[in-house]
Amino acid sequence: MASYKTSDLKKGLKIQIDGEPYVLQEVHFVKPGKGNALYKCKMKNLVRNTMLDRTLKGGDELQAADVEEIDTVFLYNQAGSFVFMDNETFEQYELTAEQVDDNWKYLKEQSPVAMVLFNGNPLTISPPSHVHLKITETDPGTKGDTATNVTKIAKVETGAEFNVPGFIKEGNIVKIDTRNGEYVERVSME
């Protein structure tokens, strides 16, 4: 099985510790005055959804996680579980709200989603880095508010709420960055 040296470590890398898959959330390089370089790592267990802190020495090796990433499409949400379909095999996978986490904010029917499988079981999903969502509810902008830093809360078609500029109206379609949940631009007006 493949392995990674400490110099290869970066956020998002999937590794295996004691037979369980983890994803690196943070990696900090520390070079003390004396001795080896250290890598302070914060990682999330993909099965149990718990966090683990580990400090590794320079030159240590970590085993690559035996996970598979597949392309799926979001079908629907039913009673707290989210159903996805594999684009190639048409097999359906059901994930809990805990597994989907905050990614529900970006899921609308037929949205493309990358899914991580471990031993054939779904663990997590990753939406595309940017999504287009329709504004369903927002306060009207105040006349004369043309300053670029004026923001307000807007509800989108998925039920999530995001900060958007004051000029955004109901019916507008906006581009949202899924990595940080921030407004990028207005895509179209209705």
Which structure tokens are listed for 48? Answer: 């149990």
Phi, psi for 90 (deg, rounded to 5)? 65, 15
Strands 112-118 and 121-126: antiparallel
Strand order in the sheet with 173-177: 161-165, 151-156, 130-138, 173-177, 182-188
3-64 maps to which CATH number?
A: 2.30.30.30
Which structure tokens are listed for 15? Answer: 């590794």
Burial of 189 (0-12, 13-18, 19+ CB in 10 A): exposed
Q: Are 3-64 and 67-126 equal in CATH topology? A: no
pLDDT confidence bin for 32, thresholds 50/70/90: confident
- Rounded Cα distance between 26 and 43, Å, is 7
User: Taking 60 as the threshold, does the pLDDT of residue 145 lie above it?
Assistant: no
- Rounded Cα distance between 61 and 38, Å, is 13
User: Taking 70 as the threshold, does the pLDDT of residue 190 lie above it?
Assistant: no
In the prediction, which pLDDT does 147 show? 58
Nearest to residue 29, comparing CAs of 2, 52, 4, 11? 11
In the prediction, which pLDDT does 1 show? 63
Q: What is the pTM of this model?
A: 0.75
67-126 maps to which CATH number?
A: 2.40.50.140
pLDDT tens for 102-144 read: 999 999 999 999 999 988 889 889 999 999 999 999 988 766 6
Please state which of the ranges 19-23, 33-37, 155-159 shows the lowest mean pLDDT. 33-37
In the prediction, which pLDDT does 57 show? 87
We find that the CATH architecture of domain 130-188 is Beta Barrel (2.40)
Domain boundaries defined on the chain: 3-64, 67-126, 130-188
